[in-house]
C-alpha cells in the first residue's frame, strides 16, 4: 500500500500536456483521501474511504455499507459540501459545462489543487514531485440509475458494465475488478478503496 499513489487530477497519469498545471500525486490511503475530501468541503462524517483488502466474501463483508463508490488503483498498462468550499464552488461553476470543459476547468482550479497539495505529503509513501512520472492509475466505479459505470479519465466517456443487483456496488463490480487484477498479473501495486456512508444513528 505504501507504494501506491494516485493523482486525483491527471487523468492520464503524467501524460498531460506540459502547458497544463500538474497536481502532486496522492497516496491511495484512506486517511489521506478522507482528509482530502474534508478539505474540499465534504463535512458529513458518515462519508469515509476504507480499504478493501480482498474480494473474498469474508473480506467484502468487512466493508461498511452502503458503498457509494469503489476506487481501484493499479499500474498503467497498454491493455488497460459547503457553499464556500472548493468542491461546492467547482460544482456550481461547472454545472452547465460539458464534461470536456469541466476537465479543463479542474486542471486550473487553484483551490482544488491547494487542497490536494495540502495532503500530498501525508501517508507512508515517499513524497513525489508534481513533475515526476507516476506509472499508476485509478478508476472509479459508481451506481447510476441501477447501472454500474466505470469512470476512467483515459476514456472519452463512462463505461457501462452491467445492471446493478440491489444496493451492493462492491459485489456488483467484483468481476470487473478481478479482470483488472488479471491484466496486471505479477504486479503487486494494486489496491482498492471504497467510499462508504456509515449509519451512525
Ordered structural domains, the chain, with CATH: 5-197 (3.40.532.10)
The grid coordinates of residue 90 equal 467547482
Q: Is the pLDDT of residue 39 over 50?
A: yes
Q: How far apart are CA 117 and CA 113, in angstroms?
A: 6
> 3-class DSSP state for residue 37?
helix
Per the model's pLDDT, the better-predicted residue between 80 and 95 turns out to be 95
Q: How far apart are CA 180 and CA 40, in angstroms?
A: 30
DSSP-assigned letters across all residues of 88-109: HHHHHHHTTS-HHHHHHHHHT-
- Of the chain, the percentage scoring pLDDT greater than 70 comes to 61
66-86 pLDDT per residue, tens: 999 999 988 766 554 333 456
Element (H, E) at 137: strand 136-144
Per the model's pLDDT, the better-predicted residue between 139 and 114 turns out to be 139
Whether the full predicted model's pTM is greater than 0.85, yes or no, is: no
Q: pLDDT confidence of 103, banded at 50, 70, 90?
A: confident
Per the model's pLDDT, the better-predicted residue between 43 and 19 turns out to be 43
User: Please, are residues 119 and 47 in contact by the beta-carbon 8 Å criterion?
Assistant: no
Q: How far apart are CA 157 and CA 183, in angstroms?
A: 21
Listed residue (72, 193, 52) closest to 138, CA to CA: 72
Q: How many residues does the chain have?
A: 201
pLDDT computed for residue 120 by the predictor = 53
Q: How many CB atoms lie within 10 A of CB 134?
A: 15
CA distances from 96 to 13, 80, 90, 111, 124 (A): 27, 31, 11, 20, 39
Q: Grid coordinates 497544463 are at which residue?
A: 20
Amino acid at each position: 500500500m505504501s507504494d501506491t499513489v494516485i493523482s486525483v487530477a491527471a487523468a492520464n497519469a503524467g501524460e498531460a500536456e506540459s502547458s497544463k498545471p500538474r497536481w502532486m500525486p496522492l497516496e491511495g490511503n484512506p486517511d489521506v483521501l478522507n482528509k482530502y475530501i474534508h478539505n474540499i468541503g465534504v463535512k458529513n462524517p458518515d462519508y469515509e474511504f476504507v480499504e478493501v483488502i480482498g474480494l473474498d466474501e469474508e473480506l467484502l463483508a468487512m466493508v461498511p455499507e452502503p458503498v457509494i463508490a469503489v476506487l481501484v488503483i493499479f499500474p498503467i498498462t497498454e491493455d488497460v459540501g459547503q457553499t464556500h468550499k472548493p468542491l461546492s464552488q467547482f460544482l456550481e461553476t461547472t454545472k452547465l459545462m460539458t464534461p470536456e470543459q469541466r476537465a479543463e476547468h479542474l486542471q486550473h482550479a487553484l483551490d482544488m489543487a491547494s487542497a490536494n497539495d495540502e495532503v500530498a505529503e501525508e501517508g507512508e509513501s515517499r513524497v513525489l514531485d508534481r513533475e515526476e512520472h507516476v506509472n499508476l492509475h485509478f478508476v472509479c466505479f459508481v451506481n447510476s440509475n441501477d447501472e454500474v459505470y466505470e469512470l476512467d479519465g483515459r476514456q472519452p466517456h463512462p463505461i457501462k458494465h452491467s445492471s446493478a443487483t440491489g444496493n451492493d456496488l462492491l459485489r456488483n463490480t467484483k468481476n470487473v475488478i478481478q479482470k483488472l487484477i488479471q491484466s496486471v498479473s505479477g504486479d503487486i501495486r494494486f489496491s482498492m478503496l471504497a467510499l462508504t456512508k456509515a449509519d451512525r444513528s
